[in-house]
Amino acid sequence: MWDEKYATEEYVYGTEPTGFLRARAEYLIPGARALAVADGEGRNSVYLAQQGLNVTAMDGSTVALDKARRLAAARDVEVGYHHGDITCWDWRPDAYDLVVAVFIQFLDPAARAKVFEGMKRTLAPGGVLLLHGYRPEQLDYATGGPPNADFMYTEQLLTSSFADLEILRLKGYDTEIHEGTGHAGMSALIDLVARKPA
Ligand SMILES: C[S@@+](CC[C@H](N)C(=O)[O-])C[C@H]1O[C@@H](n2cnc3c(N)ncnc32)[C@H](O)[C@@H]1O
């Protein structure tokens, strides 16, 4: 399904990073080891590399990864791209200073819980998780994301899922976004920034 969605010259979610990532500049530390999960066509991983981070990215779509590699080459940055299924990803313990998870809402609650645990495991002590997605109210806007309320994030869900991390920011809000044709219009969003205890 994702390969078909991405089988077009256009970048479905655009080539610019999500505004959430731009706004979190204080966590984008040059030289830091970053993992971008379900990174798609590379807009976020390429931006991280442009900020000087040492970036690894993964996605389940080979079509998306090809586009990501082209974007990285066009922007003259290096990113280590990997094809994989996030539900069986090897979450190496304490491996990354930053984990970036932007619009990864294709997971049912059980799979999501395992992925959240994996992201925590792979963060190094003191490392930061940047998670950005939709709230259930997005179903009314229908401007992006899956049509499943269960796949969305609430403040309560993220508070309980990341109770073992220090939550530095947790904010739900509505705003207009324009990220290619994939995310376009008024959107019900939520941001999480959380640090693994040192
Ligand atoms: C909504 S897109 C977001 C892409 C990117 N994070 C962004 O914001 O531009 C969701 C991405 O998840 C990927 N994906 C879906 N299922 C996956 C899986 N089981 N393992 C890894 N990636 C998956 C898709 O290929 C797609 O690129």
Give dist(CA 52, CA 65) in Å, integer: 20
Confidence of residue 120 (pLDDT cuts 50, 70, 90): very high
Ligand 1 centroid vs 61 CA: distance in angstroms? Answer: 7
Span 131-148, pLDDT tens digits: 999 999 999 999 999 999
- Outline where DSSP puts E strands in 68-153: 80-83, 96-102, 123-134
State the closest ligand 1 atom to the C-alpha of 61, by its place in the atom list counted from 1. 25
Q: At what angle do helices 43-50 and 62-74 cross, to 10 degrees?
A: 30
Q: List, in order of start, the domains of the chain with CATH numbers.
A: 2-195 (3.40.50.150)
What integer is the mean pLDDT of 26-51? 98
Ligand 1: which residues within 6 Å by Cβ?
2, 13, 18, 38-40, 43-44, 59-61, 64, 85-87, 102-104, 106
- How far apart, in Å, are the Cα atoms of 151 and each of 86, 104, 110? 15, 9, 10
Confidence of residue 184 (pLDDT cuts 50, 70, 90): confident
Give dist(CA 88, CA 78) in Å, integer: 25
Span 64-104, pLDDT tens digits: 999 999 999 999 999 999 999 999 999 999 999 999 999 99
What integer is the mean pLDDT of 171-188? 94
Give dist(CA 51, CA 169) in Å, integer: 21
